[in-house]
């Protein structure tokens, strides 16, 4: 019962913290487009928050540069459990056009565990919403496993 | 022994009822804000989902925080908001419903002004104790806002008390119930009405500052200083702050409604509604009061927060300490002059 309630609350309220690890700003604008009237992600209780302490979801954009690697790890550790990481854009998924650059240590899953990749340069808002839906599925799975372990 | 039961029972009822209504008010606020931006917006129950989620999440106490202040502040904020709501609502409804019991003589406006500060002070203490530079900055800003809104509120309180001493000598002039009993607009000349409108306008500006809503959300500026005061709060403590915020917004707006639009159904029409012998006037009064609260919330919080951007903290201090205080003082002078002019 508790788990079911929990899933519902989580499904209806995902707070996202957005971290830019050296992206070109296109993915960041697409995230904002997802929140704007046309797609209105706030319908589903998704909103951007200003600090990782409030977040459930970490939206990471950009290939991880050398300089920001430690900060990404630190922000990931600041997010309270249970948490999800969604990588938005081709750079974060595969380092894209920055492959073999001397300044890049990415992709993102080199430094933090990633739950969902949303490829695209930049991905459309529909793709981002689809990615969030997949993240919910993953969250459900994590919670089922958690309840099994608890029992 | 009866008063002992009241003391424990009424705050419990107010905590649950005020929490639920306050959170629904937040949901309504978000829905209307979404309509303004031609979005669909979250469901009205969204704040409850948020609280439910926050309750399930891990609660982190940062390593360099002062633990007991950090974890005590949310409870102080919630408790003081509930006490504030008790002191504002219970005497009012006791007066409206013609009850006479323990709380009906309490509700002093000076006490309420000081109680109004305690949730903010708890937030400030929690912010300073969380050991994050963002939270410290937010706490400093909250202190500035707190101090600059004191003056207009104090002038308003004094104006009401002065007027009561003139209109109803012998009654307790600082009691909210007496203020509801003699509404500001009754028996006033044009000067008095103008002064009352100035006071109402300045309180309408003070409300978003008390509730830390845009354009006065410098202390919790999410894009600027990473949610400021709340930067280090997570999980349950954040949920308590959210509930306290809901209760406090209900309390502040109820205070404005009681000061400026206190009339219940009986005062408006002169009738009591009692089908089949059951007096349902009180129920009707609760509904009327809620409608008023939501209207004031919509006008002075939702509309303003959609239409404006965040001010700078220096602008806020200047606005309240100069413009709004002068407006309040002008209202005070006009209301004071009103009986003099009418006797000329």
Q: Which of B34, B49, B235 sits opposite A42 (nearest CB)?
A: B34
CA distance A50 to B301: 21
Q: Tell if the CB–CB gap between B134 and A51 is shorter than 8 Å.
A: yes
pLDDT at B102: 61
Q: Tell if the CB–CB gap between A42 and B233 is shorter than 8 Å.
A: no
pLDDT at B224: 78
pLDDT at B104: 59
For residue B41, the chain A residues in CB contact (below 8 A) are 40, 42-43
Q: Which of B30, B41, B227 sits opposite A54 (nearest CB)?
A: B227
What's the start-to-end Cα distance of chain B, in Å? Answer: 54
Q: Is B22 a residue whose pLDDT tops 60?
A: yes
Q: Tell if the CB–CB gap between A81 and B57 is shorter than 8 Å.
A: yes
Tell whether A53 lies on the interface with B, counting CB pairs under 8 A: yes
For residue A53, the chain B residues in CB contact (below 8 A) are 60, 231-234, 238
Domain boundaries, chain A: 2-140
Nearest CA in chain B to A15: B50
**pLDDT (tens digit, 0 to 9) for every residue of chain A, 151 residues total?**
445 555 666 778 888 899 988 888 888 899 888 888 888 888 888 888 888 888 888 999 988 888 888 899 999 988 887 888 999 988 888 888 888 888 888 788 888 888 889 988 889 899 988 888 888 888 777 777 765 554 4
* Sign of the alpha-carbon torsion through B275, B277, B282, B286: negative
For residue A40, the chain B residues in CB contact (below 8 A) are 34, 39-41
CB atoms near residue A2 (< 10 Å): 8
- Contact predicate A140/A80, CB 8 Å: no
Which one has a higher pLDDT value, B97 or B249? B249
Tell whether A99 lies on the interface with B, counting CB pairs under 8 A: no
**What token pair was written down for B199?**
């006071």
pLDDT at A151: 43
Q: Tell if the CB–CB gap between B134 and A37 is shorter than 8 Å.
A: no
Alpha-carbon distance B135 to nearest alpha carbon in chain A (angstroms): 11
Tell whether B103 lies on the interface with A, counting CB pairs under 8 A: no
ipTM: 0.82
Lowest mean pLDDT among B33-37, B168-172, B313-317: B168-172
β-bridge partners, A47: A15
Domain boundaries, chain B: 2-343
Residue B340: exposure state from Cβ atoms within 10 A (0-12, 13-18, ≥19): exposed
Tell whether B35 lies on the interface with A, counting CB pairs under 8 A: no
Span B110-138, pLDDT tens digits = 888 888 889 999 989 988 888 888 888 88
Residue A150: exposure state from Cβ atoms within 10 A (0-12, 13-18, ≥19): exposed
- Contact predicate B219/B212, CB 8 Å: yes
Q: Is B241 a residue whose pLDDT tops 80?
A: yes
For residue A1, the chain B residues in CB contact (below 8 A) are none
CB atoms near residue A17 (< 10 Å): 22
Nearest CA in chain B to A77: B60
pLDDT interval class at B101 (50, 70, 90): low
Span B52-69, pLDDT tens digits = 888 888 888 888 888 788
CA distance B256 to B51: 27
Alpha-carbon distance B203 to nearest alpha carbon in chain A (angstroms): 29
pLDDT at B160: 85
Q: Which residues contact B97 (CB under 8 A, 6 or more apart)?
A: B281, B282, B285
Query: Which CATH number does the domain A2-140 belong to among 3.40.50.2000, 3.40.50.12280, 3.30.160.20, 1.10.645.10?
Result: 3.40.50.12280
Q: Percent of chain B beyond pLDDT 70?
A: 94
Tell whether A150 lies on the interface with B, counting CB pairs under 8 A: no
Q: Which of A51, A54, A80 sits opposite B58 (nearest CB)?
A: A80
Q: State chain B's mean pLDDT as an integer.
A: 84
Q: What is the mean pLDDT of residues B251-266?
A: 84
Tell whether A6 lies on the interface with B, counting CB pairs under 8 A: yes
Span B151-202, pLDDT tens digits = 898 898 888 888 888 777 777 777 777 777 777 777 777 888 888 889 899 9
Tell whether B340 lies on the interface with A, counting CB pairs under 8 A: no
Span B195-221, pLDDT tens digits = 888 989 999 999 998 888 888 888 787
Give the Å distances, CA to CA, from B215 to A119, B301, B326.
Answer: 38, 9, 20
pLDDT interval class at B277 (50, 70, 90): low
pLDDT at B16: 87
């Amino acid at each position: 019962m508790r788990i079911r309630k929990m899933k519902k609350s989580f499904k209806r309220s995902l707070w996202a913290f957005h971290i830019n690890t050296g992206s070109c700003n296109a993915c960041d604008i697409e995230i904002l487009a997802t929140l704007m009237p046309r797609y209105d992600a706030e319908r589903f209780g998704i909103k951007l928050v200003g600090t990782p302490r409030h977040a459930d979801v970490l939206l990471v954009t950009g290939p991880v540069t050398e300089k920001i690697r430690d900060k990404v790890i630190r922000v990931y550790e600041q997010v309270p459990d249970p948490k999800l990481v969604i990588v938005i854009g081709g750079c974060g998924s595969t380092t894209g056009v920055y492959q073999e650059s001397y300044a890049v240590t990415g992709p993102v899953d080199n430094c933090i565990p990633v739950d969902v990749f949303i490829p695209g340069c930049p991905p459309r808002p529909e793709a981002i919403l689809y990615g969030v839906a997949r993240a919910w599925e993953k969250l459900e799975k994590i919670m089922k496993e958690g309840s099994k372990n608890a029992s | 022994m009866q008063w002992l039961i009241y003391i424990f029972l009424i705050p419990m009822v107010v905590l649950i009822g005020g929490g639920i209504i306050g959170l629904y008010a937040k949901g309504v606020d978000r829905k209307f804000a979404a309509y303004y931006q031609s979005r669909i917006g979250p469901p009205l129950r969204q704040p409850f989902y948020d609280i439910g989620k926050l309750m399930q999440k891990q609660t982190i106490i940062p390593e360099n925080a002062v633990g007991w202040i950090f974890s005590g502040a949310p409870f102080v904020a919630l408790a003081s908001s509930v006490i504030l709501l008790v002191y504002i609502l219970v005497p009012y409804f006791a007066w409206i419903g013609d009850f006479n019991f323990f709380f009906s003589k309490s509700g002093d406006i000076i006490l309420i002004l000081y109680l109004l500060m305690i949730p903010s002070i708890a937030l400030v203490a929690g912010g300073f104790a969380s050991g994050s530079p963002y939270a410290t900055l937010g706490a400093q800003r909250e202190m500035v806002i707190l101090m600059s809104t004191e003056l207009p509120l104090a002038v308003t309180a004094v104006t009401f008390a002065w007027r009561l001493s003139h209109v109803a000598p012998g009654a307790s002039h600082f009691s909210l119930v007496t203020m509801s009993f003699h509404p500001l607009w009754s028996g006033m000349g044009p000067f008095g009405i103008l002064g009352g409108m100035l006071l109402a306008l300045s309180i309408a500006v003070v409300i978003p500052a008390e509730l830390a809503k845009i354009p006065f959300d410098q202390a919790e500026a999410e894009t600027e200083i990473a949610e400021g005061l709340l930067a280090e709060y997570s999980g349950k403590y954040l949920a308590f702050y959210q509930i306290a915020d809901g209760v406090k917004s209900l309390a502040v707006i109820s205070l404005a409604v009681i000061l400026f639009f206190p009339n219940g159904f009986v005062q408006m029409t002169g009738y009591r509604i009692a089908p089949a012998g059951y007096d349902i006037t009180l129920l009707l009064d609760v509904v009327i009061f809620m409608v008023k609260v939501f209207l004031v919330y919509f006008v002075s919080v939702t509309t303003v927060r959609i239409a404006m951007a965040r001010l700078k903290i220096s602008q806020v201090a200047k606005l309240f300490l100069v413009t709004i205080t002068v407006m309040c003082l002008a209202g005070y002078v006009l209301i004071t002059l009103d009986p003099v002019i009418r006797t000329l």
